[in-house]
Structure formats: C-alpha cells, structure tokens
Amino acid sequence: MVKAADRAKNPARSSVWLEKRATRSGGGPAGLDRDRIVAASIRMLDEEGLAKLSMRKLATELGVTAMSLYWYVDTKDDIIEFAMDSVYGEFDLAAIDAARDWQDRIRVLAREYRAMLVRHTWMSPSAGQYLNIGPNAIAVAYKIQQAISDTGLSLDRQPGAMSAVFQFVYGYGTIESQFGRRAAEAGMSQDEFYVDSVKAFRDDPEFSPQIEGMQEILDERASHGSVGAIWDRDFDHALDVLIAGIEVMVAREAEGARRQK
C-alpha cells in the first residue's frame, strides 16, 4: 500500500499511474469495483467539491466499509487521479478527428475542454497537483499536440501557441465554473446573480468614477439578457483572436524562411 508519507518523499514521481501495486489476494468486496468507486467519487466531487471528499463519506455513498475501498485504491489521491482521467474521457475525440483543418480541431478541443471544466468545478483546482498522465488525459494531450503541430509553426514555437490557447481555456473555464458555483451556492441563477452583483456595483457611489469609464461595456453586456450568451460569445471571439494570431505567426515564419533562401 502506498501511504501519503511515502508519496511525500518523492512527489515529482508520485502518481497512481506510475506506482506498481501489489496484487491483492482473494476476491474483492462483492458488488464493488474501481469503475463504481470512480463514478461515485465524481458525483460527490461535482456536488460537494474536493474539500469534502473523504474515504469514509465515499464508502457511505457506496454502502460499503471504508476498508473495502482499499482493495482498489491506496489513498484519496488515487481516487482523485482516477476521477480526473475519467472526465477527460468525456471529450468527443471523434468530433475532433472529423474537423476539417487544424483551426477547427483547436476550436473543438477548446470547447470540449471548457465544457469539461464547467461541468466539473473541482477540476481546475486539481490541475497542477497531479501528473495527470492517465490514458484519457494522454489521448486528449495527443490530439492537442497534433492540432498545434499541424499549424506549421516551428517546433520551438509550438509550446507557446499551445499555452496561449489552452491556458486561456483553462482560465476562462475556471472563472466560468466558479461563477456558476457561487451563483448556485447563493440559490440564484447565473443571470440573477450577475444582475444583482452589477447593480450593487453600479449603485455604490464610491464606484461612480470607475463606472463612468465602464458604462458602455456594462450596458453592452447587459443587453444580451443572458450570462450564458455572454460566456459563449466572448469565448468564441477570444478563441478566434488566438487562432488568427497563430495564423499570423505561421505566415511570418514562412516569410522569414523565404527571405533566407
């Protein structure tokens, strides 16, 4: 069994996907398997977040003893890693492959990633804490790498382009998901929460000087009548800007290569 203390000794190599577990003797608890544990953990994470996930609560949800879980996982970190990889399995890889060119593939990948982050608000704070090298995550990473490679950018420019697009998506999806979580915790729709929060800002006389310079943009956003419409419009436009930037960089590199001949 891999204990938390053992993981702490070598965190850079700590992952459920790298550790070799000893084979358990005999059969596991009846009616329980890793897929069922992971599915239950995702439900709990979606409803309550990372902080409230525990082996004891998960066992109660599954109707088993906490010790039963250790037949399939060694730590709570194992469960989170399995859960993270499972939601990467929600990406529609067939839709990515069906896209006509690298621009469309990047758009599909970006929208799939954003949707996953919004569906699972616990994913954003999990990023960076784990190596995230499960089979589904690797499959998605490979599709991203392929799409960026097909832009025609030189190898040393590809990581920057990848970061520009997908770090943007991570940030956008994180803000969107946390806004939705905050609205839900307040017992309000996103539209209600947005209208109330902006009204509070506008009605506070201390903010009058700042609002004066923001009046047009606040009015423009309010004219859409739906926070969801604002999220979608701004995301798509920003993604178009990033893709256009990559196209400019590709053309610039091609022009530079021609001049050197």
What is residue 238's predicted lDDT score, i.e. its pLDDT? 98
Its pTM stands at 0.89
Rounded Cα gap, residues 12 and 196, in angstroms: 45
Mean pLDDT by 10 residues, the chain (261 residues): 58 79 64 92 96 94 91 91 97 96 98 98 91 95 97 96 97 96 94 89 85 82 83 96 97 89 76
Q: What is the count of structural domains for the chain? A: 2
Long-range pairs for 249-257 at CB < 8 Å and ≥24 separation? 249/153, 249/157, 249/161, 250/151, 250/152, 250/153, 253/152, 253/153, 253/154, 253/157, 254/152
Assigned domain for 73 exists: yes
Lookup: tokens for 176: 């969107």
Q: Are residues 107 and 175 in the same domain?
A: yes
Q: Are residues 148 and 81 in the same domain?
A: no
Instruction: Tell me the CATH number at 34.
Output: 1.10.10.60
What is residue 35's predicted lDDT score, i.e. its pLDDT? 94
Rounded Cα gap, residues 11 and 234, in angstroms: 38
Instruction: Tell me the CATH number at 102.
Output: 1.10.357.10
Q: Are residues 156 and 243 in the same domain?
A: yes
Q: Are residues 110 and 152 in the same domain?
A: yes
Q: Are residues 47 and 61 in the same domain?
A: yes
Q: Are residues 233 and 155 in the same domain?
A: yes
Q: Are residues 165 and 248 in the same domain?
A: yes
Cβ within 8 Å of residue 92, ≥6 positions away: 108, 112
In terms of residue numbers, what domain contains 60?
Answer: 4-88
Assigned domain for 162 exists: yes
What is residue 222's predicted lDDT score, i.e. its pLDDT? 76
